[in-house]
Copies of this chain bind each other. A is one copy, B any other.
């Protein structure tokens, strides 16, 4: 039998949960159904996907297939969502994909403006990393995108949104915030430095070398903030992100770190609701748009 998406999905859930029963529960079917599906998949591939007697350890092949299958399932679900969104919108639909830091910043205003201007308009917002933002645009899954860096893409125009300098983020009572002298890279990148995804955009060689030794990486911004608020840890973030942090944290420029991050707005040229999309882009780019500065 041909490979089907539902087979891959079943396999992925079993691989994730490590148990048939648990997976069957999540998938909303009986154990036996899942068992049979899995057997079908293995029969199709001609090799076992699991190692050992139980389903809690993947074979070498299983690992590989899992990586591919998980991605495919996620991809498929996204497409389905997108198709359904496109179909259910007759008053108009704008799909925005953005890097998380900026998404939180702009969304409230965008929502307020657009719903007032176009009653009945649907807006969909998703956030991921810059790379996936661009992918979503190229694949026609989004009408507007916000990402770091300028990239030339077919059928998509790029507009500079703002620049953002990188700096120290720490608790307000942290010594590095209290000292008069602005901090340097060496001050900041110590044992208590937290590495995060945005750090990788910094090109200053001195800094790149320094963070080589950083042991802890935190991808999720919320967790990062929680750590920083304890007062023990510090990190480096773009100013706009830092300003969005709650009370007890501070942002300071780093004297020998000149890096900026350039954020661009990407506009899909042949969006279905061209006018609405253009209007939305125009609003974000207009002086009327207030950045929480």
Residues of A within 8 A of B (CB): 3-5, 45-47, 60-61, 63-65, 67-69, 71-72, 75-76, 79-80, 82-84, 86-88, 90, 131, 135, 138-141, 152, 200, 272
Contact = CB atoms under 8 A, between A and B. Distances in A.
Contacts of A200: 152
Chain multiplicity (copies): 2
B68 A86 contact: yes
A47 B152 contact: no
Contacts of A84: 3, 45
B3 A68 contact: no
A60 B271 CA distance: 11
A200 B153 CA distance: 11
Interface SS majority for chain A: helix
A276 to B, nearest CB: 14
Contact of A71 (B45, B140, B272): B140
Contacts of A272: 60-61, 63-64
Nearest to A80: B3
A57 B140 CA distance: 20
14 contacts: A3-B80, A5-B76, A45-B84, A46-B88, A60-B272, A61-B86, A61-B272, A64-B140, A67-B140, A68-B86, A68-B139, A68-B140, A69-B79, A75-B75
A272 B75 CA distance: 23
Contacts of A135: 135
A128 B101 CA distance: 32
